Structure 1
Amino acid sequence: MRVVVVDDDRLVTASLKTILEADGGLQVAGVGSSGLEAIALYRSLKPDILLMDIRMEGLTGIDAAEILLQEDPQGKVLFLTTFSDDEYIVKALRIGAKGYILKQDFESIVPALRSVYGGQRVFGDRVATRLPDLLGAGSKGQDYVRLGLNEREWAIIVQVANGLSNKEIARELFLSEGTVRNYISAILDKLELRDRTQLAIFYFRSF
């Protein structure tokens, strides 16, 4: 897996390079310190994943990612930042980023990269727990009540979109695995969707 790391703190990029390359399956193809460098590195190196900070002088990580993902909709951008700002989280997801994790959760960086490489979206624990509220507030009017869903169903949709299995959802929400299966079946019926993949797509398109 080839990764480009961009952060305006050069000590951070050096530390991340060391951490990532300690894992035998990861190669840091390049490092940068600005949004403009991120664009140039991505275009020239074509990494599997761009791991990038958000707040940088000049072109922000969000702005850079939006440009790159318009050019390459299949591209994988994972944001790594110290800021769990609601506006940033919503913007990151709307432009098609594959995840948003906090630097404080440093032990989750390598697993997050693996998940993104495998096609999942990932969020740090502190971000994931706030997603239902963010979606209710910033979802272009399509809040879950208007869709005929209740709070528990919406929480399950969030977890499905986050890539969790039924067993993992059950553990997170203190339900039995059978109850989770029943909820998902009911949700698919209500939304006239075929499977979990369509449910995840619905979730990310709904705001």
Structure 2
Amino acid sequence: MRIAIVDDDPIVCQSLETILTATGTADVLWTANDGGAAVQQYFASPANHPDILLIDIQMPGKDGLDAAREILPKDPAARILFLTTFADKDYIAQAMALGAKGYLIKQDVAAVGPALQAVMAGQVVLGAEILGKLTERTTNPADSSNSGNANDSATKLLNDREREIAMLVAKGLDNRGIAAKLFLSEGTVRNRISVILDKLGLTNRTQLAIIWLNAHQ
């Protein structure tokens, strides 16, 4: 696979490039040290479009989230994987709402290679710490049993096909992967997910995944 790496620390870019190249995981097309440079590089030519853009969030000037907001409307097929030191709930929610393919913490560098391969296989990748943070959004520590019951009741609002789709969303499959599993068109899956979100009063598929996981753990 061909990837691009964006991080405000050149040493991080160089280290990741060395590791991924040496292990045969990926070829690095280019690197950049801020979001503005990343957008410029990305659209310099079609040949500059990586299979996956590995990008930090907090950087001087344009940050990673703003870079993603510029890239995705122009290239909806872009695969963006965030790699950052910040396990911040708001950052995670923003990243996943944008349509990012994953969110990893830098301390877990060994997970980067497998994460890139999973994204190429059509999965959405969230590190263990990130899943923990997201679960906190739907769990009340003072009454976790009631929270679990509420999540279970919510998923019972779904019909059988919607429950199948919700389960596959929770497993990290994107629309294409779900369509292939259930022999549906991507458009049908997209529409079904919109209906599910409306039924449950949710705004994005990450919230759906967490509710499903809480109801079936």
- What TM-score results when the alignment is normalised by the length of structure 1? 0.70
Q: 2:95 aligns with which of 82, 87, 92?
A: 92
Asked if 1:64 is matched to 2:67, the reply is yes
| Match runs of 1:10-49 below 5 Å | 10-44=10-44, 45-49=48-52
What is the aligned length? 170
Match of 2:170 in 1: 161
The one-letter code matched in structure 2 to 1:163 is G
| Match runs of 1:1-207 below 5 Å | 1-44=1-44, 45-134=48-137, 145=150, 148-149=153-154, 160-163=169-172, 204=205
The one-letter code matched in structure 1 to 2:119 is V
Q: What is the Cα deviation at residue 71 of structure 1?
A: 1.0
Q: What is the Cα deviation at residue 59 of structure 1?
A: 0.5
3-state SS of 1:129 partner: helix
Kept in 2, the 8 Å contact 1:4–1:28? The answer is yes
- What TM-score results when the alignment is normalised by the length of structure 2? 0.67
Match of 2:200 in 1: none
Give the Cα separation in 2 of the matches to 1:146 and 1:108. Answer: 30
**Could you tell which deviates more after superposition, 105-114 or 20-29?**
20-29
The one-letter code matched in structure 2 to 1:26 is A
Alpha-carbon RMSD across the aligned residues, in angstroms, is 3.5
Kept in 1, the 8 Å contact 2:25–2:113? The answer is no
Distance 1:199 1:52, change over 3 A: same
Give the Cα separation in 1 of the matches to 2:12 and 2:138. Answer: 31
Structure 2 gap segments, 5+ residues each: 141-148, 156-162, 174-187, 198-203, 209-217
Distance 1:206 1:104, change over 3 A: closer
3-state SS of 2:153 partner: coil
3-state SS of 1:100 partner: strand
Give the Cα separation in 1 of the matches to 2:49 and 2:61. Answer: 23
Q: What is the Cα deviation at residue 43 of structure 1?
A: 1.6
Taking every aligned residue pair, what percent have the same amino acid on both sides?
40
Match of 2:180 in 1: none
3-state SS of 1:149 partner: helix
Match of 1:176 in 2: none
The one-letter code matched in structure 2 to 1:31 is T
1:51-93 deviation per Cα after TM superposition (whole angstroms, max 9, x unaligned): 0000001111000011101111111000000110111000000
Match of 2:179 in 1: none
1:142-193 deviation per Cα after TM superposition (whole angstroms, max 9, x unaligned): xx9489327xxx9xx58853438xxxxxxxxxxxxxxxxxxxxxxxxxxxxx
Kept in 2, the 8 Å contact 1:2–1:48? The answer is yes
Structure 1 gap segments, 5+ residues each: 138-143, 165-193
Give the Cα separation in 1 of the matches to 2:29 and 2:100. Answer: 20
Give the Cα separation in 2 of the matches to 1:15 and 1:146. Answer: 42
Kept in 2, the 8 Å contact 1:62–1:92? The answer is yes
